[in-house]
Amino acid sequence: MLRTHTCGELRIDHVGRQVTLCGWVQRQRDKGGVVWVDLRDRYGITQLIFEEGVTEASLIEKAKSIGREYVIKATGEVVERYAKNDNMPTGDIEISVSALAFLNGSQIPPFTIEDETDGGETLRMKYRYLDIRRKPIREKLELRHLMMQKVREYLNSEQFIEVETPYLIKSTPEGARDFVVPSRMNKNEFYALPQSPQTFKQLLMVGGIDRYFQIVKCFRDEDLRADRQPEFTQIDCEMSFVEQEDILQTFERMTKFLYKEIKGIDLEVFQRISYDEAMRKYGSDKPDLRFGMAFVELNEEVQGRGFMVFDSAELVVGINAEGCAGYTRKQLDVLTDFVKKPQIRAKGLVYVKCNADGTFKSSVDKFFGQDALKGWAEKFGAKPGDLLLILAGETNQTRKALSELRLEIGSRLGLRDEHKIAAVWVLDFPLLEWDEETERYHAMHHPFTSPKPEDIEKLKSAPGAVRANAYDMVINGVEAGGGSIRIHDRELQAEMFDILGFSREEAEAQFGFLMNAFEYGAPPHGGIAFGFDRLCAIMAGEQNIRDFIAFPKNNSGRDVMINSPAKISEEQLNELGIKRVELNGL
Amino acid sequence: MLRTHTCGELRIDHVGRQVTLCGWVQRQRDKGGVVWVDLRDRYGITQLIFEEGVTEASLIEKAKSIGREYVIKATGEVVERYAKNDNMPTGDIEISVSALAFLNGSQIPPFTIEDETDGGETLRMKYRYLDIRRKPIREKLELRHLMMQKVREYLNSEQFIEVETPYLIKSTPEGARDFVVPSRMNKNEFYALPQSPQTFKQLLMVGGIDRYFQIVKCFRDEDLRADRQPEFTQIDCEMSFVEQEDILQTFERMTKFLYKEIKGIDLEVFQRISYDEAMRKYGSDKPDLRFGMAFVELNEEVQGRGFMVFDSAELVVGINAEGCAGYTRKQLDVLTDFVKKPQIRAKGLVYVKCNADGTFKSSVDKFFGQDALKGWAEKFGAKPGDLLLILAGETNQTRKALSELRLEIGSRLGLRDEHKIAAVWVLDFPLLEWDEETERYHAMHHPFTSPKPEDIEKLKSAPGAVRANAYDMVINGVEAGGGSIRIHDRELQAEMFDILGFSREEAEAQFGFLMNAFEYGAPPHGGIAFGFDRLCAIMAGEQNIRDFIAFPKNNSGRDVMINSPAKISEEQLNELGIKRVELNGL
């Protein structure tokens, strides 16, 4: 090793030792007679000192010439500092340097390598290798590494076997868009990159592996959002001879283990809520249950009183913003504008102020008297000083809008404390959802999810009413993971493909291998998958998953650091037997 | 859980317990009054018993109807066996069944699910999910899982951080052929799948990660051999502020740790040999050092004696097959045919028998008398009873041929014992190798490998003579891993690309991001990568890596189970902006 110690380990009891450190120059302070250099590596920062009378003159000159981010190797004696720095672990000592070598120089970095940088995201991504030198980014990658270790520690202890499934598989139109890979050896044919190892992990169950997991990259050619990447990492798990409850227990334990080991937090027993209840009370299948503010439906109370907006609405529903009766006209206008935003699309916002004196002030006074408003307030369990916020319209759209308003108010009232953890299992999802566009049913989870046995007879008569053995784990309003008990019967699987609009031929061509496998002794099985990038962000109490990925891509799927994707040579295209379709302007 | 226990855990002290087991029917024996069923899961096999007078008649009938590989759930009492079976851990007990449920039926499997199967490889691969139920395959996947755990345990303890690098990167013609992925969002552009995370791990070193590892899939679009797969797994590692010796020490320790933890074997200190010596003494850069039989060169002794074959040869070289003087004419003909095989291409084989009476019998008697042959024998250190085998011709080709013969003789003499482990570091590889075809130098390892400092001045004058800071770990004649100290200086890297025939523009376009990174404080660094599939096979003492991969591809890159690659829809092609080149007959 070029060094005897790292920049993070020297303490007062090393004083007198001759050491050699290597690292990057965080900063250099030239006070004329004395030059200090803060030397940084992954493990910490140690101060180097060069001073007249102690350090050889030529060395002091050399120290004066050091620039930021130079890579240097310094040898010297560990000495006690005159002015100690309690803010850094190595703050009691410094190195009185007797030998100094420049291992590499550095240009001025395009942004400051500090906890708080002046670099914008694009610049940081272009020079990601410099961004990673910053403590906040490095710590996120270290957290990710620790998460991986702990996930594996837990699953290994539960007899799960990590099995690597292939990356070059077959394209299956169902679900999101695939990335495809042209095959040179099999001209005119393509591999696809997996959106998840779903079918392979089911085949491993058929193969008797009993308990499988994998921390694995998955790929989706979707148009991207802030928290979406074309390649992302999944903790993928499957178990045999289990029922839904076994999976909920196993992975609730895993999540508790992670919070305990990594954050020292003991989570309470996870809440459970059905999909229907979640939609009715919170307008979302990912409810943030760090706070209440459940929806209250008012159709009975408000309809047939001549107020068209309510009378014509499929649903009239509201929330109680406790203690907000004092909101000004202006503040209420801001909320009204909020719900009218194009992403939310509510037509308007009705409010009722529960005044301290027991009277009520509402934006619909002319239609509803004090008694009526009093009745609403009682239904909300509202106290004097509270503010009722009410939306009306088409059910799903109105619930969605009120869900956004609930989260907004929750944030304004500081009810979404990142130090508070509210984990909930959302259960009993519908098996199918109707797609207006294609006018057919889509699998809400995926085509391999089993219907609840008691609902199977409804598959033909009322497909939309069939509930699935599917479940999501939601933490603080974010979906951490989801899964289902799978179909393991060939006939039922064939019927599912049928309902999803596959012809027998299509089903056979795409999933014949799985349905055949079901004919050779497929065990009952089910599983779950966690979005690992997101789980890391949740664990750190952050929103953006990008900084938890070493080399993320931007919203147009580009890696701006290596400038990928890029053109390839005609020779490569010819070998693959494909050619570009010439597009206008390209 | 559908079961209370697995099929591997019940013992004599469970007798009297009511248990429920789930699994697959290994076999069913119907002895009329008694029916036995061997129930199998991942954890073992437990015997079920149904007998008249004890078991309800209807259950016995049901048991008689069970077929192989049916998935069943059986509840009953653990009872002591009349006839114990010491060959199985559960052999002291059986389950007297009181309830039996068929969880799934099974067709007759296409091959027997036994340790020794009657299924050929193609059939096994088509039904891999059944093949995996076989103990030998399952144990290989379990070994692989254990290897992963131990590799991570070691590297974590050595402060390595596992960082995931991207799979959608950029195509770089240097090296093997890339698999490419057309980009939909960036029309006419392509991603490439990584042949290795080489440049990214180097950027992580520039980023100050200090010690990186990853167990990661890599991709090469090569024509396949038995031990090559288009996607394979690598243990990829990189360290900063190190010299070659540090990396050799760190990963020799890792390999010893794996052998100790997994096989209980204490490996000796690894041998070390230079590339030149390996080629001279064993004709291979992957010498199998479980046995000696080093080459002996005879040019001085044999040339200029009028024997054209020797006189015209660039190299005359042989090995001593100890104790083989008794080989018959027929046996010697077999060896001669062996070296004449097209893969080996020697013109002929000269032998010298060292007879017990101290005389010599040779196939070149007419050119060389007893004294001459005695001289040769002395140079070989041959004893009476030994057999000298000699080849002559162009140096590299002759060494290669003799290397094959050495391995063949080693096998015939039982010197390649799979229980013996000979690990060696091959050092001082040439930096460059001349390619006749393209008439330019290629990087022997890769373009990022650093030349030995003392050889740098030869880069221009004699590029072929420059040695690299590169190393391979070879175990029993198989390359387990290899790596190098990298270039971390922009100018030197640019010079390398220059020597490799890159124009400045090409180098900039393909590797500009790396050379730019070198200008912002790149530390000295180096690393190594192990072929994980192969390492697993080596650890198990086997040749074929396929059975250590859950879902391998065949020699034409096909997954015959899911039948991939496959055609994709015109719609997909249009979205991607590519089209197939129509080929004759397709």
Q: How many CB pairs (< 8 A) connect A and B? A: 359
CA distance A577 to chain B (A): 5
For B212, nearest residue in chain A (alpha carbons): A145
End-to-end alpha carbon distance in chain B: 52
Of A187, A208, A576, the CB nearest to B138: A208
Q: Which value, in Å, is the radius of gyration of the alpha carbons in chain B?
A: 30
| Nearest residue, CB atoms, B129 vs list A71, A193, A206 | A206
Residue A42 token pair:
């992954």
The CA-based diameter of chain A, rounded to the nearest angstrom, is 94
Q: Which pLDDT does position B2 carry in this prediction?
A: 97
**Alpha-carbon gap, residue B324 to B52, rounded angstroms:** 66
CATH code for the domain defined by A291-412: 3.30.1360.30
Q: What is the mean pLDDT of residues B545-549?
A: 95
Q: What are phi and psi of B174, to 5 degrees?
A: -50, 140
Q: What tens digit of pLDDT does each residue of A233-267 get?
A: 999 999 999 999 999 999 999 999 999 999 999 99
Please give the Cα distance from B40 to B46 (Å, whole number): 7
Residue B27: helix, strand or coil by DSSP? strand
Question: Which residue of B141, B171, B580 is in closest CB contact with A161?
Answer: B141
User: Which residues are A45's β-sheet partners?
Assistant: A40
Which pLDDT score, from 0 to 100, does residue A172 have? 82
Residues of B in contact with A580 (CB under 8 A): 188, 577-578
- pLDDT above 90 (res A316): yes
pLDDT at A586 over 50: no
Residue B543's identity, in one-letter code, is Q
pLDDT of residue A583: 56
What per-residue confidence (pLDDT) applies to B53? 94
Closest alpha carbon to B214 in B146, B176, B166: B166
- Inspect the interface and report whether the beta carbons of B575 and A550 lie closer than 8 Å: no
Name the least confident of A570-579, B353-362, B414-423.
Answer: A570-579
Residue type, B126: K
* Mean pLDDT across chain A: 95
Residue contact A513–B580, C-beta within 8 A:
no
Indicate yes or no: CB of B127 within 8 angstroms of CB of A208.
no
**What residues are paired with B501 via a beta bridge?**
none
Residue A48: other Cβ atoms inside 10 A: 25
Q: Minimum mean pLDDT among A237-241, B100-104, B520-524, B568-572: which range? A: B568-572
A390 min Cα distance to partner chain B (Å):
41
pTM tops 0.90, yes or no: yes
pLDDT score recorded for residue A581: 79
Helix pair A504-517, A198-206: axis angle to 10 deg: 40
pLDDT digits (tens, 9 = 90+) for B331-341: 999 999 999 99
A40-91: pLDDT as tens digits: 999 999 999 999 999 999 999 999 999 999 999 999 999 999 999 999 999 9
pLDDT for the residue B586: 42
Mutation target for B interface from A113, A148, A185, A234: give the one with most B CBs within 10 A: A185
Whether A209 sits inside 8 A of B562 (CB atoms) is no
**Distance from first CA to last CA of chain A, Å, rounded?**
52
**Taking 70 as the threshold, does the pLDDT of residue A439 lie above it?**
yes
Q: What is the structure's pLDDT at A175?
A: 73
Of B105, B163, B488, the CB nearest to A104: B488
Under an 8 A CB cutoff, do A191 and B518 touch? no
Return the CATH architecture of domain A138-273+423-549.
Answer: 2-Layer Sandwich (3.30)
- Residue in B507, B553, B583 with CA at minimum distance from that of residue B121: B553
Interface contact B513-A1, CB threshold 8 A: no
Place of tokens 């050495």: B406
Q: Has residue A582 got a pLDDT over 70?
A: no
Q: Which chain B residues are Cβ-neighbours of A586 within 8 angstroms?
A: 187-188
**Could you tell me the residue ranges of all domains in chain A?**
12-104, 138-273+423-549, 291-412
CA distance A272 to chain B (A): 20
Nearest CA in chain A to B125: A513
CATH of the structural domain A12-104, one choice from 2.40.50.140, 3.40.50.12160, 3.30.450.40, 3.10.180.10? 2.40.50.140
Chain A residues in contact with B186 (beta carbon < 8 A): 556-558, 565
- Torsion, Cα B220 B223 B228 B231, to 10 degrees, reads 30
To the nearest whole percent, how much of chain B has pLDDT over 70? 99
For A2, nearest residue in chain B (alpha carbons): B241
Q: What is the rounded distance in angstroms from the CA atom of residue A550 to the CA atom of residue A179? A: 21
Q: Is there a contact between A550 and B164 if contact means CB atoms under 8 Å apart? A: yes
The candidate with the shortest Cα–Cα distance to B61, out of B97, B27, B114, is: B97
Tell me what pLDDT residue A585 has.
Answer: 45
Where is pLDDT greater, at B577 or B282? B282
At A176 the pLDDT is 85
- Side chain identity, residue A91: G
Report chain A residues whose CB lies below 8 A from the CB of B107: 519-520
What pLDDT does B583 receive? 56
Residue in B3, B129, B575 nearest the CB of A207:
B129
pLDDT at B83 over 50: yes
CA distance A328 to A575: 70
pLDDT beyond 70 at A226: no
User: With contacts defined as CB-CB under 8 Å, which chain B residues touch A182?
Assistant: 180, 182, 578
pLDDT higher than threshold 70 for residue B226: no
pLDDT in tens, A185-201: 998 899 999 999 999 99
Helix spans in B225-274 (H): 244-258
pLDDT in tens, B386-408: 999 999 999 999 999 999 999 99
Q: What is the largest CA-CA distance in chain B?
A: 94
Mean pLDDT of chain B: 95
The secondary element (H helix, E strand) that includes residue A311 is helix A308-311
**pLDDT, position A438:** 86
pLDDT tier, B455 (very low <50, low <70, confident <90, very high otherwise): very high
pLDDT at A223: 83
Cα separation, B114 vs B311, in Å, equals 59
- The answer to ipTM > 0.85 is yes
In whole angstroms, what is the distance from residue B110 CA to residue B107 CA? 9
